[in-house]
Amino acid sequence: MSDALLDAVKNGIMSVDLGRQLRVGMPQSPNHPQFWHTLPRRHGDMVRADGGSAANDMITTGTHVGTHIDALAHVSQDGLLYGGADAGQSCLGGKYVEHGVHTIEPMIRRGVLLDAAGFLGQEVLDGGYEITVEDLQGCLAAQHVELREGDVVLIRSGWGRKFDEGTAYVGAESGVPGISEAGAQWLAEQRIHAAGADSIAFERLAPGGGHSALPAHRVFLVENGIYIIEALDLEELARQRTFEFTFVLVPLNIYGATGSPVRPLALV
């Protein structure tokens, strides 16, 4: 570690935790296997001669639960993955050898928060609200921030406040606010590296529509090779009005997986 970085750490680089706690019963997409956590061995089940004992537990989970990143292998269009890779042939022995989560480099990048809810003067945007390109541009201008190539852009709709309300967060009936195809196209033109949001499917979900159409996923994952991060906790960053920071994210190196739970940090 360089002296400058060591000094910064000692003198209080602050990190903001952008990840959700993983716990049984947390809201998650019905598209993905549920998070489950059990405790096969408790203290006292096996006691060593010296009186010591170890508890250990087990999780089973879909890779797209809690705060998570979508690998490019997560979505195909007409049988093709990003770069024209054949989705069928990219899967060998049940592993996406092409564009699996193991191909995502750890991220230490410039992060930008776009507080769309704050910009629009609302605590939480309405279910199904489309965050337009004009909203994104207006928000950047109001925050005095510009986007640069390679950025990680996090979009706050305020919907993350509903995480502890369970199914309300999933928004099957109400819809969920977020960007749509046009917003994704515009962000892709800014040549960003990844985009995230405080909602379950990153993009706008229409009321009553469930997860039946996800055009921003196609634009990012299939057409532009831009990663998507979902179910972020962006409340503290917004509260601090921290719009620029160092974004740190390391996916689990699961060979051939379509996604990974993550616990990203903003260093401010």
Residue with smaller CB distance to ligand UVW, 64 or 156: 64
Residue with smaller CB distance to ligand UVW, 101 or 237: 101
Residue 187: DSSP 8-state: H
Establish if 31 lies at the interface with ligand UVW (CB under 6 A): yes
Establish if 107 lies at the interface with ligand UVW (CB under 6 A): no
Min separation Cβ 76 and ligand UVW, Å: 13
Task: Give Rg (Cα) of the chain.
Answer: 20
Residue 46: DSSP 8-state: S
**Residues that contact ligand UVW, how many (by CB under 6 A):** 10
Chain residues 185-204 in contact with ligand UVW, contact rule CB under 6 A: 200-201
Establish if 167 lies at the interface with ligand UVW (CB under 6 A): no
Establish if 27 lies at the interface with ligand UVW (CB under 6 A): no
Establish if 219 lies at the interface with ligand UVW (CB under 6 A): no
The whole-angstrom separation of Cα 139 and Cα 112 is: 11
Residue with smaller CB distance to ligand UVW, 112 or 200: 200
Min separation Cβ 109 and ligand UVW, Å: 20
Written as six digits, the tokens of 74 are 């997560």
Min separation Cβ 201 and ligand UVW, Å: 4
Establish if 29 lies at the interface with ligand UVW (CB under 6 A): yes
Establish if 178 lies at the interface with ligand UVW (CB under 6 A): no
Establish if 115 lies at the interface with ligand UVW (CB under 6 A): no
Report residue 54 CA to chain centroid gap: 33
163 close to 26: Cβ distance less than 8 angstroms: yes
The whole-angstrom separation of Cα 169 and Cα 242 is: 24
Selected from 70, 115, 130, 135, the binder of ligand UVW by CB under 6 A is 70
Report residue 73 CA to chain centroid gap: 15
Beta-strand (E) ranges in 135-243?
152-156, 178-179, 194-197, 227-230
Residue with smaller CB distance to ligand UVW, 140 or 232: 232
Establish if 257 lies at the interface with ligand UVW (CB under 6 A): no
Establish if 110 lies at the interface with ligand UVW (CB under 6 A): no
Secondary-structure breakdown of the chain: helix, strand, coil percentages, each rounded to the nearest 5: 25, 25, 50
Written as six digits, the tokens of 83 are 């770069």
- Scanning the chain, the segments in alpha helix (DSSP H) are 3-10, 116-119, 133-143, 167-170, 181-189, 215-217, 235-240
Which stretches of the chain bind ligand UVW, using CB under 6 A?
Answer: 29, 31, 64, 70, 200-201, 211, 217, 230, 259
